[in-house]
Chains A and B, each alone.
Chain A
Amino acid sequence: MTDDELWQVVQDREGRYSVWPQDRAAPLGWTTTGFAGRRAACVAHIDATWTDPLPARWRAVLDARTTAEPKGSAHA
């Protein structure tokens, strides 16, 4: 496997991104995003796309806390 070969951008259930050889099916738990190209291009695409580093279920918990409680009293 060399960097010259084609790669694709994949994403897991928690919204994490990664790259995977294009000629192989995405592993269990990962789905393709439709973006493919040289490895460096995929990485650059992820740099631009993956804006929230938090895993989705943890983000959901945090979001629920902010909507449930008025701001400023998060630790009450």
Chain B
Amino acid sequence: MREPVLAAPADVVDLARPAETAAGFPLSVAQKRIWSLGLVGAHGVFPAQTLALVFAQAPDDAALRALAAIHPSLRTRFRRFAGGRIEQVAAPAEELVVERLDLALHPAESEEAGLARLVDAFAARPFDLDREPAARIARIALSGGRSAIALTLHPIVADPASLRVLARDLAAAANGDAPGEVRDAALTLAPAEQAWLRAPAFADTLEYWRAAFAGEHAAATLPLKNGLGAAAAGVRGRSAFRIAPETVRGLEALGAREGLPLPTLVFAGFHTLLARYSGQWALRTGIVIENRADTARAGTVGRFEDVAPLHLDLASSASFVALARAAQARLDDALAHHAPIERLAQELWRHEGDASESLVKTLFEFREALGLDEAAPLTRPLAARADTDFILTVQPAADGGLDAVMDYAEGLYDARLVARAANGLTRILRAAAENGAVRLRDIALVEADELDWLSAPYPDDVIDDDRPVHELIADHAARTPDKVAILYAEESWTHGELDRFANRLAHRLVREGVGPEDCVAIAVKRSPQAIGAMLATLKAGGAYIPVEPDHPAVRNDHIFRDAGVKVIVTNSWLTAKIPTGVDAVVLELDRIDLEAEPAAAPETPPVHDDQLAYVMYTSGSTGLPKGVGVEHGPLTHHLQSTARVYGMTEISRELPFLPFSSDGGHERWMNPLMVGGSIILPDQPLWTPEETLAAMRRHGANNASIPTTYLQQLAEEADANASAPPMRLYSFGGEGLPQTTFELLSRSLNSEWLINGYGPTETIMTPMVWKVRAGARFEGTYAPLGWCVGRRRAYVLDADLNPCPIGVTGELYLGGEGVARGYLGRPGVTADRFMPDPFSAEGGRLYRSGDMTRWREDGSVEFVGRVDHQVKLRGFRIELGEIEAALLAQDGVGESLVILREDDGRKALVAYVVPKAGATLDGDALRRALVRELPDYMVPAAIVPLERMPTNPNSKLDRMALPAPKLKLSESVPPATPLEEELLALWKQVLNVEALGVTDNFFEIGGHSLAAVKIVSRLRALKPKAKVTIADLFNEATVRKLAASIERGGEATGGQVIRLRESGSRPMLYCFPGLLVSTREYVKLVDFLGPEQPATGFICYSLSEEKKLDASVEEITGRYVDHIRKESAGRPCFFLGWSWGGLLAYEAARMLGSDIDLRLVGMIDVCDLGTEFAIGATPQFAPGERDELQRLVTEWLGRTRMRADWDRLLGSMDARTYDQFLRFVGDEEESLPTDGPDISSREHTFWILIDNALIFRRHVLQPFDAPIHSWAAEDSLHRGLNLMDWRRLSRRANPAEIIAGTNHLHVIGSSAFHSRFAARIDEAMAGLDGTERRKRMSG
């Protein structure tokens, strides 16, 4: 639905007819912002304030007029002056119109419901401030002689506290009390506010806040939902809830004892909630304050409300009361240093790095009750301000409880998470009400029954067989001895053969002294013999240790010694790899005579549940590998549960591709064999994807277990050749599995089921799996880890070991029977990683996984990143794994690694990538691709392609060996021609850089538009014939390229447009320049839009060499228009204008009219013409001020070196315009500049601004129905800039979307803007496709 187009004329207006003579007042800071929001159509950000009271005897119209007489806000009108200046005036009280509303009840509707409906409709009527007062009042007759009075006030004249004032005064009027004094503190606020903001004392206030912002506080927020993308702005969700009277009574009693008010206690609860949900305890939250401490404001209707940022950093060990006390002290402090939130945000957004997020993302508002005895207020839903992502509003309810509502940006937060958070808050407050001394970390947010559900394994009620795994496998040798067990190259082993081999070797092992708790190393490559040797070890009662013969001897030597192995089983050709001097028996399988050994199993004592079954050596990121010991009981139970979850049967034939150096690899041969099935064992460590698929087909595999890293290649092969045989199940794991890879597997592997397995060795093989049908989808970065298997529990716990609510990130802990015994010979590390299980009724341990995870809505676990893989940069918590996953999703990237480097004291993210075989990688191109997928702060500063990741002798990544990203300047290419030499000298001089080569890109070495202008103007003097333009320099941005263009001559130089991207299948995007910007600023956006989006930028008029005094807008735009007309030739195109460029884009669109097929005009933060030089605006001076300013200007003109330019400009002004200039000078905060005429000087900029104002003052925008979509920077609204309301000119214009956390200058680089603009382009494209389809169909 398009909003109705305002019919107001586009030019100078003054619509406040009834009150033309009354004294006008300027708008306050808060009012200006609300006015600006109205200009861009964002009416919902601040809701109207509505009050409805039911009276037995309502005040009559005369009493209402008397009430309006003392409250100017009830009769405030607004007038708009030339250039957009706004004034507010109070109309005479006699003109107050009291509407009569008829309560026409629907059939079977109660009077109460009918009244609520009527008031809702009354409140929902939009205000037209150009024509109507900012308040409406109505009378509604009810049954029994009662009546209701309804009041709706525009937020520009009333805040929520105003309703309290009005309710009280209305009740008094009904009582017949005489109205009091006139209360006009709101109407007359602005001048005093201006003085306050300019006073020297205010600088101290800002200093206080600068210091506060310098802390490491994060802007508090609940966890954001997955897959934000281009979420629609402005749509809000609500979660209403109540806090019980009993809790409130408890809190009030606590407050009475501690001297703390109820709102502070509720806030402390909210802060606790935010901290517990975010895992961060140093937080900045906004508190909505009434700002009515001044007695003149107390009884006034008006907008005084403000927001105070509150910084708190208590640890979770603090008590609730301690937190509340700290919050109160901070609030008192913040109030003592009160400053408008709009002004504070400006302070924070001064630097581009900071201008990427909001000052506060979450607000807390405690609204006092209306407090009426006589009149009954109609209960209406709490309407909250929507200027932040999230706000909690709380108000006392009639029953002594609290009404609360969480109102939030629907695009950012999951409704279910918010509802749970609301529930969490009630719990926290209940706990505090019961015991104020409760520590924040001791408040439970997850109930026992919910935890029971969340932590539960896959449902499975089959009773396990307690026999150890080797006995289960041997069982099948007895039952189906001739059935195939292992297919290996050309060999085929039956269950019987395998069992006899294992039995014979077991006898030999027993003779060598192997018994319980003795370790046997199996240093044999993956083969039937290796499997037989492991089974033999178990049959002998010992524990096997798989050892990869190919691994470094140092590592294997360590294993043999560390585990004290008794026997090493190997082959004769591998003995060279066995270190000498190890105290163990070496059995060479190809040399020993097993035929002499009995074929039946040796008689050994029964295997105990706690008996050691195997030891896996895992490499930590530091130090030597540690041996993880696993016992028989947990092992056999794990394998049986897993077999059931996987649906393994005697017909299962699995291709286990996982290496034997991972415990998962052993699960995947044991599982098929223990159910009587078979395996196809690869005879090489790696098969090509073709070989693997061929083996599956040849041997009729139905299951396959494959490492995630290899799976991608396999799926790509299968996808390319549609060569995947039909399979029942693929299981994989070992790495985070990104969405794109999962989709590929789903599509190409021709499998019924897919299982994503997860598990640290310490928790036995694959303790968690996510089993889904092919084609399933998931939200989030990585495939879910799923649920645990067997006699286990999975817990997501915070740093205090509290279970995390669904959606909250915490570390994964695994407990129950299925955990390892510990690390061999390392009791301390074992105790450190395996901790007591506080959730178990019968003791037990939890393994701390080191993986950050969260529970999803269905109770499955989702991987977020490694605990030690999380870094903090500029206050953002960054999951490096997420960046690595984004890199892996790019074409050609085989491996990726992201680290936070600190080189020369500067912290930056640096990524290292290794290409897939045959691929080559371009770091810059990858970086541009990431810009599309990650928030700005997560995009690495540099992406370095490497041939391989550096490793240390343990085959572990050697972080120290990662190279620092190369500076572009390090390889300066020397000039090759005299022209290159000349140009290079010029660049060095202008850019003041010595180490410069002819292939260095102008922009990457710190070049900017003003430097470009300097270079071009000097170049013109040097090479007048070449007519080099700024566009030439931007397009050929190295010395070499530019020199080549000049040497080619002819049309090679003299360009007027910047080719931001030349090719692409989409319609051309024309970018119009703002004042004093170069169009380079659009580059980030064009990168974001991707390779299919061609884009052209125009050079800013103020930077062009051909500017002249008194140019007209038509002349300036004319050049762009010619270019577009010629180039687009009727093809579809898009326009984009930022700031001043928006006016040019609009004019170009209007001038081109139907000559072009314009599909979208994007307008970014475009302001209407300034007020200062508006025709007809008469500047006001204080007595003597004009003479003083005149003296100042004369004195300044005597000093400036731009005297001639100024004389020319000032000489073109008439008397009134010159007065406007003086007024402008008087309003400037800084003194008149004299640093010209250099193009980068402040004085030059000043000159351009004035010149520009003169160009535009004569220009009148004419209506034209361009397809406009606009965006406004939050800070521009804060400042109350006179943003263009395009709907006044075009019936095809939409209300603006607000880009939060940024300002006029930085909005163009904001990724939030990029994604929204891309969404609009997509929409326009969709429309385009539709039209073309229709055309084709009709043609």
A associates with B: yes
Chain A positions near chain B (C-beta within 8 angstroms)? 1-2, 5, 9-10, 12-14, 16-21, 24, 26-30, 39, 42-44, 46-47, 49-51, 53-55, 57-58, 61-62, 65, 74-76
Comparing B842-850, B1036-1044, B1201-1209, the segment that makes contact with chain A is B842-850
Subset of 10 A-B contacts with CB under 8 Å: A1-B800, A2-B315, A12-B843, A18-B845, A43-B828, A46-B828, A53-B830, A54-B517, A58-B609, A62-B516
Q: In the complex, which of the residues A9, A30, A49 contacts B843, with contact meaning CB atoms closer than 8 Å?
A: A30
Task: Check if B832 is an interface residue, CB within 8 A of chain A.
Answer: yes
What is the chain B residue whose CB lies nearest that of A72? B513
B1019: Cβ under 8 A from any A Cβ:
no
Whether A47 and B827, one on each chain, are in contact in the complex, defined by CB atoms closer than 8 angstroms, is yes
Known: A19-B835, A30-B836. 15 other contacts (CB 8 A): A1-B316, A1-B799, A1-B800, A13-B843, A16-B834, A18-B836, A19-B831, A26-B836, A29-B836, A43-B831, A47-B827, A50-B827, A53-B821, A62-B516, A75-B605
Which of B's residues lie within 8 Å of A, judged by CB?
Answer: 315-317, 441, 510, 515-517, 541, 602-605, 608-611, 629, 799-801, 821-822, 824-832, 834-838, 840-845
> Residue A58 contacts which of B610, B799, B845 (CB distance < 8 angstroms)?
B610
Would you call B827 and A74 a contact (CB within 8 A)? no
- Residues of chain B with a CB closer than 8 A to A75's CB: 510, 515, 541, 602-605
Tell me the nearest residue of chain A to B802, going by C-beta: A1
**Residue contact B835 to A20, C-beta cutoff 8 Å:** yes
Q: What residues of A have a CB within 8 angstroms of the CB of B317 in the complex?
A: 5
Q: Once bound together, how far apart are the Cα atoms of A57 and B605, in whole Å?
A: 16
CA distance A62 to B603 in the complex (A): 17
A75 to B821, CA, bound (A): 25
Whose C-beta in chain A lies nearest to the C-beta of B841? A28
Provide the residues of chain A in CB contact with B827, threshold 8 Å: 17, 46-47, 49-51, 53
Query: Closest approach, in angstroms, between the C-beta of B616 and any C-beta of chain A?
Result: 16
Closest 9 interchain pairs by CB? A29-B843, A58-B610, A47-B828, A50-B827, A27-B838, A43-B828, A46-B831, A55-B610, A27-B836
Residues of B within 8 A of A39 (CB): 832
**Closest CB in chain A relative to B308 CB, distance in Å:** 30
Compute how far the CA of A74 lies from the CA of B541 in the bound complex, rounded to whole angstroms.
11
Q: Give Cα A47–Cα B823 distance, bound, in whole angstroms.
A: 12
Q: A1-B800, A53-B629 are in contact. Are A74 and B611 (CB under 8 A)?
A: no
Interfacial chain A residues near B608, Cβ < 8 Å: 58, 61
Q: How far is the CB of B506 from chain A (nearest CB, A)?
A: 11
Q: How far is the CA of A21 from the CA of B441 in the complex (A)?
A: 12
Q: Please, which residues of chain B bring their CB within 8 A of the CB of A61?
A: 608
Q: Which residues of A contact B842 (CB under 8 A)?
A: 28-29
Expressed in whole angstroms, the Cα–Cα distance for A66 and B603 within the complex equals 17
Q: How far apart are B514's CB and chain A's nearest CB, in angstroms?
A: 10
Give the complex CA separation of A17 and B832 in angstroms: 9
A10 touches B515 (CB 8 A): no
**A29:B835 contact, CB within 8 angstroms:** no
Are A17 and B831 touching (Cβ within 8 A)? yes
Chain B neighbourhood of A62, CB < 8 A: 516-517
Residue of B nearest to A57 (CB): B610
Inter-chain contacts of B316 with A (CB < 8 A): 1
Residues of A within 8 A of B826 (CB): 47
Q: Which of A10, A20, A44, A75 has most B Cβ within 10 Å?
A: A75
* In the complex, chain A residues whose CB is within 8 Å of the CB of B611: 58
> Which of chain B's residues have a CB closer than 8 A to the CB of A10?
836
| CB-nearest residue of chain B to A45 | B828
Collect the chain B residues with CB atoms within 8 Å of residue A28's CB.
840-843
Q: In the complex, A43→B517 CA distance in Å?
A: 25
A19 lies within 8 A of B832 (CB): yes
Residue of B nearest to A21 (CB): B801
Which residues of the partner chain A approach B836 to less than 8 Å between Cβ atoms? 10, 12, 18, 20, 26-27, 29-30
Which A-chain residue is minimally distant from B844 (CB atoms)? A29
Pairwise interchain contact A53-B828, C-beta atoms closer than 8 A? no
Q: Which chain A residue has the least Cβ–Cβ distance from B516?
A: A62
Cross-chain contact A53 with B603 (CB below 8 angstroms): no
A71 CB → nearest B CB, Å: 11
Closest to B839 in A: A27
| Chain A residues within 8 Å of B832, by CB | 19, 39, 43
**A33–B315 CA distance with the chains assembled, in angstroms:** 28
In the complex, what's the smallest C-beta–C-beta distance from A39 to chain B, in angstroms? 8
- Please judge, given known A-B contacts A5-B317, A29-B844, whether A54 and B610 are in contact too, CB under 8 Å: yes
Question: Are A27 and B831 interface neighbours, CB within 8 A?
Answer: no
B315: chain A residues within 8 A (beta carbon): 2
Closest beta carbon of chain B to A60's beta carbon, Å: 10
A30 proximity list for chain B (CB < 8 A) = 836, 843
Shortest Cβ distance from residue B843 to the other chain A in the assembled complex, whole angstroms:
2
Contacts of B515 in A (CB 8 A): 74-75
Q: Decide: A53 and B605 in contact? CB cutoff 8 A.
A: no
- Docked CA distance A69–B378 (Å): 89
Most buried by A among B510, B541, B830, B842: B830
A18 touches B843 (CB 8 A): no
B620 CB to closest chain A CB, in angstroms? 15
Q: Separation in Å of the B1318 CB from the closest CB of chain A?
A: 43
Q: In the complex, what distance in Å separates the CA atom of A24 from the CA atom of B830? A: 21
Looking at the assembled complex, report how far the CB atom of A52 sits from the nearest CB atom of chain B, in whole angstroms. Answer: 9
CA distance A43 to B827 in the complex (A): 8
